[in-house]
Structure 1
Amino acid sequence: MAQWPLMLAALVTGALVPLQLAFNAQLGGVTRNAFTASLIVFLVGALVLTMIVAATRPTLPTASELVAAPTTVWLGGAIATGYVVAIVVLTPKLGVGLTTGLILVGQIMTALVLDHLGAFGNAQHSLNAGRLAGLALMIAGIATIKMY
């Protein structure tokens, strides 16, 4: 399969992140509480996913498969919770552009380390000068956004 459809899907997904920041910040303003806003975000997400699972009827894992899974598989929900709470708090203070940029740089920094280590069963991609230059350019871009 060609990679361009996957790359396009990733680009579109990335384009949704600033919208998520803006919408969740609005919800935080309405609820006046980052935790309440985040809970609502997750309840809506759970409802949407419940409808999708009900409609598509995928094979669900057994209880023993879930128990046997690495403990790290359970951390995604906790990380997502921290992420949503943080964007509700940070976006009104930093703005959508700066918050999104800083989140992206944090993601790239961590992704480069995970790639370099081949962590959690992912393919290993060595850290090199080109990858570091890409990160440096992103950091320079964030600095430019902050200045202007």
Structure 2
Amino acid sequence: MTTWHWLGLLLLAVFAGAVVPFQSAINANLGRGLGHPLWATLASLTVSILVLLPVILALRLPLPSMAFITQAPMWMWAGGAFGVCFIALALILLPKLGASGFIALAMTGQILASLLLDHFGLFGLVERHLTAPRLLGVLMLIGGVALIQFSAAPAKALAAAG
């Protein structure tokens, strides 16, 4: 893999992370407008389908194998449930924790879970054992998350104190 290709992949990963707080903030507003976060979760997933279907059709992707669909282990279908969980919790928690607080805490959960997935090679991933440098990196990230979450006082609290 060339350096430019690798750099492109890294930038795409950063972009993937950058869209999450926008999605969460927009969906939180949608949830307030629709009267409940779960309605916004449903709306978000419906829009996802409406955006994805034309892309699938434009790429002329073949239909999935029915043999695979009927024989795949149940855990392979859990991704959608995890997606609903993330979207719904983001809608509920982001207005209370702020965008940076919610994303920082969500990222902590992602990092910790990712370490387990990598270390044990779960779900077909390549094993990447937990080493001292990786552990130090995680502790530094979690320290950064703590600074982000606990150093920012809500604006209303600051206004009331002043």
TM-score by length of 1: 0.95
- Show structure 2 runs of 5+ residues with no match: 153-162
Alignment partner of 1:143 out of 113, 131, 146:
146
CA distance in 2, matches of 1:92, 1:133: 31
CA RMSD of aligned residues (A): 1.0
Letter in structure 2 aligned against 1:147 = S
Structure 1 residue 13 displacement after superposition: 0.8
Alignment partner of 2:102 out of 99, 104, 107:
99
CA distance in 2, matches of 1:32, 1:92: 14
Aligned to 2:83: 80
Structure 1 residue 70 displacement after superposition: 2.3
Alignment partner of 1:118 out of 121, 146, 156:
121
Letter in structure 1 aligned against 2:37 = A
Structure 1 residue 32 displacement after superposition: 2.0
Deviates more, 1:93-102 or 1:12-21: 12-21
Q: Secondary structure at the match of 1:17?
A: helix
Q: Which runs of 4+ in 1 moved over 4 A?
A: none
Alignment partner of 2:71 out of 68, 77, 80:
68
Structure 1 residue 141 displacement after superposition: 1.0
Structure 1 residue 103 displacement after superposition: 0.7
Deviates more, 1:69-78 or 1:35-44: 69-78
Task: Give identity over the alignment, percent.
Answer: 37
Larger radius of gyration: 2
- Show structure 1 runs of 5+ residues with no match: none
Number of paired residues?
148
TM-score by length of 2: 0.87
